[in-house]
Amino acid sequence: METIGIWIAALLTLGIFSFLYKDNPFYKFCESLFVGISAGYWFVTTFWQVFMPKLADNLVAGRLYYIIGGVFGVLMLLRLFPKIGWLSRWSLALVVGTTAGLYFTRYLVSNGMIQVQNTIIPLYVKGNLSQTIGNLVIVIGTFSGLIYFFFSKEHKGAFGGLAKLGIWFLMLSFGASFGYTVMSRMSLLIGRMDFLLGTWLGLIR
């Protein structure tokens, strides 16, 4: 049974890899299988991990106020009926508005307050040249980066120069991030190759 599983996994992996050559029926089959299984899997997962514990179980336990969430869920399903489909906008408005509001303070803290807090550092550290340089890079990089993202003024003159410096800092960090992520993707590829050549074909141990 395990051998059959390995063979299926290997053939499907090759099917997805075949897209590197060009679109073909083998890829189309693998794609449809992948999409179909994943959609079905997500439906079952959502039913058992969201609908049952978060709504049905609570209603059965007598917590009737959960019916409010249930009603909004039903409103979403009304999209299936064009004449009353507009009612689903109430649910959408609730989901988008509430979550955006909740995210606001979270982002303000994580992307605003904490970032600023970590950038308010001494520009000069007595007797420690490397830390002084490091701190200067952080402060100047953050400052010029913020100027790049200032949209109310045209990037000209000294302001434009600082904005250009900001984009240099951004591109340098993007370059580092690119290299780092490519390396992690290589490890994924190695993992797949290890499966194909080792687990499936037994060519490497």
Partner 1 sequence: MRYKNLNRLLILTFFFFFLILPLGQILAQEDTLPPAPPTEVRASDTQNDNGHSITITWKLSGDDGAGKKDVVAYEILRSESPAGEFVVRGMVPAGNNTYQDRGAKEKEDKNYFHPYHDFYYKVRAKTLNSYSESGVAGPAQAYGQWFHLGKLPVFVGTLAFTIMVLAFISLARKGKKFYVRPLAGIDAVDDAIGRATEMGRPILYILGLGSAADIATIASFTILNRIAKKTAEHKTKIIVPCNDPIVMSVAQETVKAGYLDAGRPDMYQEENIFYITSMQFAYVAAVNGIMLREKTATNFYLGKFYAESLILAETGSVAGSIQISGTDEIAQIPFFVAATDYTLIGEELYAASAYLGREPLLLGALKAQDLAKAIVMISLASGAVAASFHLDFFLRLFTVQM
What number of other Cβ atoms are within 10 A of residue 73's Cβ?
A: 13
Q: Does 150 engage in binding with partner 1 (CB under 8 A)?
A: yes
Q: Rank residues 10 and 139 by Cβ distance to partner 1 and give the closer one.
A: 139
Q: What are phi and psi of 150, to 5 degrees?
A: -90, 115
| Nearest-angstrom CA–CA distance, 4 and 101 | 50
Q: Rank residues 122 and 204 by Cβ distance to partner 1 and give the closer one.
A: 122
Q: Does 120 engage in binding with partner 1 (CB under 8 A)?
A: yes
Taking the complex as a whole, how short is the minimal distance between the CB of residue 7 and partner 1, in angstroms?
20
Q: Does 51 engage in binding with partner 1 (CB under 8 A)?
A: no
Exactly one of 26, 142, 165, 196 binds partner 1 (CB under 8 A); that residue is 142
Q: Does 154 engage in binding with partner 1 (CB under 8 A)?
A: yes
Q: Does 54 engage in binding with partner 1 (CB under 8 A)?
A: no
Q: Does 48 engage in binding with partner 1 (CB under 8 A)?
A: no
Q: Are 125 and 135 in contact (CB under 8 A)?
A: yes
| Nearest-angstrom CA–CA distance, 7 and 1 | 10
| Nearest-angstrom CA–CA distance, 164 and 156 | 10
Taking the complex as a whole, how short is the minimal distance between the CB of residue 142 and partner 1, in angstroms?
6
Q: Does 27 engage in binding with partner 1 (CB under 8 A)?
A: yes
Single-letter amino acid, residue 30: C
Q: Are 128 and 134 in contact (CB under 8 A)?
A: no
Q: What is the DSSP letter of 152?
A: S
Q: Which one, of 27, 30, 28, 35, lies nearest residue 8 by Cα?
A: 30
Q: Rank residues 13 and 196 by Cβ distance to partner 1 and give the closer one.
A: 13
Q: What is the DSSP letter of 201?
A: T
Q: Which residues bind partner 1 (CB under 8 A)?
A: 16, 19, 22-23, 27-28, 30-31, 34-35, 37-39, 41-42, 76, 79, 88-89, 92, 95-96, 98-100, 103-105, 107-109, 112-114, 116-117, 119-124, 135, 139, 142-143, 146-147, 149-155, 170-171, 174-175, 177-178, 181, 185
